[in-house]
């Protein structure tokens, strides 16, 4: 089989590829990021690259316009080399500006100042703690073994009826006790009802005990290094989840894990690598020894936790959607590959089902809805819209598959909320004038979720689209035109953009977005109706998830994504997955509470729910078929 070299610009990285392989395969292997939302299935059209030199064979598809083909664009996942190549990854297919924005997110939404446990009525009792012990040496009258002597000394400080430690510690124990002159520091971890001695050190190191709370997101991974004694956040860092190279959403990665040889291992290594890098960055920033990091608590959706823990995820996407586990006992972090103190523990926030994971139970903990008598709803808007409703007595949840449109997928010029993304849009004068706000004040290269919601709401208000989300006749305003057999509305002309082409929203884009918003609203509606309630009965509506923070509330209601309730009832709670993880790592009570929350949540599966399909069909209008549900809009 012929072998060719492919040089990727602007990274200047060189890969080799056979004629059987695609440009996308070569890019992924070489660590060159090319947007690939559908994982190479020739569906999303996001993996556009430009062949500058050389010949390719391109499989048939309809995802590029005539103009793009003329400019040398090909789909990386559909193109096989037929000679050595020079390939440019254009700006719209790259991932740029990630660090700054993710850092901004981390600071803006995750509360750097500290964790106020008292506000949540939790006591300070971190998952791992250190106790300094001055142990009476043995004598003929007091001839307990070294281990029993250590346990007795610990029990003088804390209530620990069941204690254990590993063989390695027992082997080291006699020397440490004697070398330390019977003055030692014990690191204790909780494993269910058992207190485990996870580390024994000479002398007093009890002042130095740190933990890391991690939000393992499908798109971003965020870590906070926490002083477990002082409940203080010392450093924070975030990055994109490197698994994106293997598929942008959960389903694509599940397929990759199952169908690619070594796929599961690569996904596992990618996320472990991200977490280790972030831990290293934060300990360096805070001048902390990694030896003193004694635990990590991870909150993530069920699929991400499967990849992190290297569990078999193959049944998650097949009916009846069964995960390997939703509640995983603490493990030695190093067993998973996470590098902290070699005996440090890795805890996971328990989830409910394949599609309602620990990120959501963590959000329930952080929002406090489980302990209030008020009726509250939590909506986490992302590729899946996870919805929880309840109060201190009961909690019911579901997950509506919204698709990737809000994250920029399945939308021609859609992109994530990074530099160059249009995040706010105003349409004026019947569609003749468009004003935009672009992240980092750059020339735009696409539109992110909040911008897309604005566009639909604004186009509807200006009657450029009707209630069924169909465009008016092309030419009704100068920006509305026919292009490549579709009608589209130009948001920014080529001379205003960073990509040298017009940025427009097409009819298929709008249809995808309307389907996404309909799924989220229908999910919420099914929950409300299954409990014989109305949205008006809600006393609080919490919006979680990174994307949620950028939502324009009136626009979200105007398009029928969120229910039409008084805006003062709505609260954005940011990265609630991380907030919950921070509570859990600092308080055993909070960790036990989230375990109870997971057990208490009743899951309603929407995939086979008839009412969901009815609600979904009704929600495919702007804002809805039943305008009485949206009095402020009509």
Which of these segments, 43-51, 373-381, 438-446, 578-586, binds ligand FES (CB under 6 A)?
Answer: 43-51
Dist CA 407 CA 383 (whole Å): 7
Using rule CB under 6 A, residue 415 touches ligand FES: no
Q: How far is CA 189 from CA 306, 344, 623, in A?
A: 23, 8, 51
Using rule CB under 6 A, residue 43 touches ligand FES: yes
CB of 75 to ligand FES, least distance (A): 5
* Count of residues engaged in binding ligand FES, rule: CB under 6 A: 13
**Which C-beta is closer to ligand FES: that of 460 or that of 501?**
501
CA angle 36, 304, 101 (to 5 degrees): 60
Interface of this chain with ligand FES, residues 52 to 91, rule: CB under 6 A: 75, 77
The residues near 552 (Cβ < 8 Å, ≥ 6 apart) are 424, 450, 453, 454, 457
Q: Of 9, 14, 42, 160, which lies in the binding site for ligand FES, with binding defined by CB under 6 A?
A: 42
Q: Pick from 332, 387, 299, 305: which is nearest to 602 by CA? A: 387
Binding track over 505-534 against ligand FES, x by CB under 6 A: ------------------------------
Quickly count helices (H) and strands (E) in the chain.
16, 29
- Beta-ladder partners of 236: 224
Q: Of 6, 17, 32, 47, which lies in the binding site for ligand FES, with binding defined by CB under 6 A?
A: 47
**Which C-beta is closer to ligand FES: that of 49 or that of 492?**
49
- Answer whether 462's CB lies under 8 Å from 426's CB: no
**Which C-beta is closer to ligand FES: that of 38 or that of 154?**
38
Interface of this chain with ligand FES, residues 2 to 41, rule: CB under 6 A: 36-38, 40-41
**Which C-beta is closer to ligand FES: that of 40 or that of 111?**
40
Using rule CB under 6 A, residue 49 touches ligand FES: no
- Answer whether 421's CB lies under 8 Å from 451's CB: yes
What does the DSSP 8-state code read for residue 444? P
What does the DSSP 8-state code read for residue 543? E
CB of 539 to ligand FES, least distance (A): 43
Dist CA 488 CA 506 (whole Å): 4
**Which C-beta is closer to ligand FES: that of 79 or that of 418?**
79
CB of 33 to ligand FES, least distance (A): 12
Using rule CB under 6 A, residue 45 touches ligand FES: yes
**Which C-beta is closer to ligand FES: that of 43 or that of 531?**
43
CA angle 561, 564, 568 (to 5 degrees): 110
Task: Name the phi and psi angles at 5, rounded to 5.
Answer: -100, 145
Q: How far is CA 547 from CA 270, 448, 620, in A?
A: 23, 10, 22
Dist CA 132 CA 134 (whole Å): 7
The Cβ of residue 171 has, within 10 Å, a number of other Cβ atoms equal to 9
CB of 60 to ligand FES, least distance (A): 13
CB of 250 to ligand FES, least distance (A): 16
**Of how many residues is the chain composed?**
634
**Which C-beta is closer to ligand FES: that of 41 or that of 484?**
41
CB of 50 to ligand FES, least distance (A): 14
**Which C-beta is closer to ligand FES: that of 228 or that of 405?**
405
CB of 413 to ligand FES, least distance (A): 15
**Which C-beta is closer to ligand FES: that of 40 or that of 180?**
40
Using rule CB under 6 A, residue 44 touches ligand FES: yes
Using rule CB under 6 A, residue 411 touches ligand FES: no
CB of 47 to ligand FES, least distance (A): 3
Interface of this chain with ligand FES, residues 110 to 129, rule: CB under 6 A: none
Using rule CB under 6 A, residue 444 touches ligand FES: no
Dist CA 163 CA 147 (whole Å): 10
Q: Pick from 505, 389, 498, 408: which is nearest to 456 by CA? A: 505
- Answer whether 215's CB lies under 8 Å from 301's CB: no
Q: Is 344 helix (H, G, I), strand (E, B) or coil?
A: coil
Binding site for ligand FES (CB under 6 A): 36-38, 40-47, 75, 77
């Amino acid at each position: 089989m012929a072998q060719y070299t492919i040089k990727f610009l602007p990274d200047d990285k060189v890969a080799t590829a056979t004629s059987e392989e695609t440009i996308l395969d070569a890019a992924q292997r070489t660590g060159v990021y090319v947007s690939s939302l559908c994982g190479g299935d020739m569906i999303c059209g996001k993996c556009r690259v430009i062949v500058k030199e050389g010949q390719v064979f391109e499989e048939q598809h309809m995802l590029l316009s005539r103009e793009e083909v003329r400019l040398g664009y090909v789909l990386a996942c559909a193109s096989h080399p037929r000679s050595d190549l020079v390939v440019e990854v254009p700006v719209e297919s790259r991932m740029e500006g990630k660090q700054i924005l993710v850092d901004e997110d981390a600071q803006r939404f995750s509360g750097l100042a500290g964790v106020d446990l008292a506000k949540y009525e939790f006591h300070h009792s971190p998952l791992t703690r250190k106790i300094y012990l001055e142990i009476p040496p043995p004598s003929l009258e007091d001839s307990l073994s070294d281990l029993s002597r250590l346990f007795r000394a610990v029990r003088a400080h804390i209530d620990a009826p069941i204690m254990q430690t590993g063989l390695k510690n027992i082997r080291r124990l006699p020397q440490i006790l004697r070398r330390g002159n019977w003055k030692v520091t014990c690191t204790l971890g909780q494993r269910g009802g058992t207190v485990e001695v996870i580390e024994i050190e000479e002398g007093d190191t009890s002042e130095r005990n740190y933990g890391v709370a991690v939000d393992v997101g499908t798109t971003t991974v965020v870590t906070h290094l926490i002083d477990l004694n002082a409940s203080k956040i010392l450093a924070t860092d975030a990055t994109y989840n490197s698994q994106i190279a293997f598929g942008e959403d959960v389903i694509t990665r599940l397929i990759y894990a199952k169908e690619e040889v070594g796929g599961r291992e690569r996904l596992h290594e990618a996320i472990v690598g991200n977490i280790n890098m972030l831990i290293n960055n934060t300990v360096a920033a805070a001048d902390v020894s990694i030896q003193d990091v004694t635990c990590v608590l991870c909150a993530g959706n069920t699929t991400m936790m499967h990849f992190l823990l290297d569990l078999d995820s193959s049944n998650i996407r097949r009916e009846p959607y069964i995960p390997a586990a939703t509640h995983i006992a603490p493990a030695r972090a190093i067993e998973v590959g996470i590098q902290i103190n070699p005996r440090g523990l890795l805890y996971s926030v328990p989830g409910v089902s394949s599609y309602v994971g620990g990120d959501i139970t963590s959000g329930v903990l952080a929002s406090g809805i489980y302990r209030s008598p008020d009726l509250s709803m939590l909506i986490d808007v992302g590729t899946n819209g996870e919805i929880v409703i309840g109060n201190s007595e009961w909690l019911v949840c579901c997950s509506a598959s919204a698709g990737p449109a809000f994250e920029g997928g399945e939308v021609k010029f859609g992109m994530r909320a990074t530099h160059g993304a249009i995040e706010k849009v105003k349409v004026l004068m019947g569609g003749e004038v468009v004003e935009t706000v672009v992240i980092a004040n750059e020339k735009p290269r696409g539109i992110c979720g909040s911008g897309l919601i604005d566009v639909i709401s604004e186009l509807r208000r200006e009657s450029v689209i009707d209630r069924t989300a169909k465009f008016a006749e092309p030419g009704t305003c100068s920006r509305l035109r026919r292009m490549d057999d579709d009608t589209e509305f130009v948001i920014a002309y080529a001379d205003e953009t960073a990509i040298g082409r017009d940025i427009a929203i097409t009819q298929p884009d709008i249809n995808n977005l309307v389907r996404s918003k309909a799924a989220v609203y229908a999910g919420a509606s099914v929950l409300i109706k299954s409990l014989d309630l109305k949205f008006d009965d809600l006393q609080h509506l919490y919006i979680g998830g990174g994307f949620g923070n950028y939502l324009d509330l009136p626009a979200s209601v105007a398009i029928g994504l969120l229910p039409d309730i008084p805006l003062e009832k709505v609260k954005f709670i940011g990265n609630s997955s991380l907030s919950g993880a921070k509570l859990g790592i600092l308080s055993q009570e909070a960790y036990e509470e989230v375990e109870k929350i997971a057990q208490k949540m009743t899951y309603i599966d929407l995939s086979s729910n008839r009412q969901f399909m009815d609600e979904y069909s009704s929600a495919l209008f702007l804002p809805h078929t039943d305008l009485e549900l949206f009095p402020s809009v009509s």
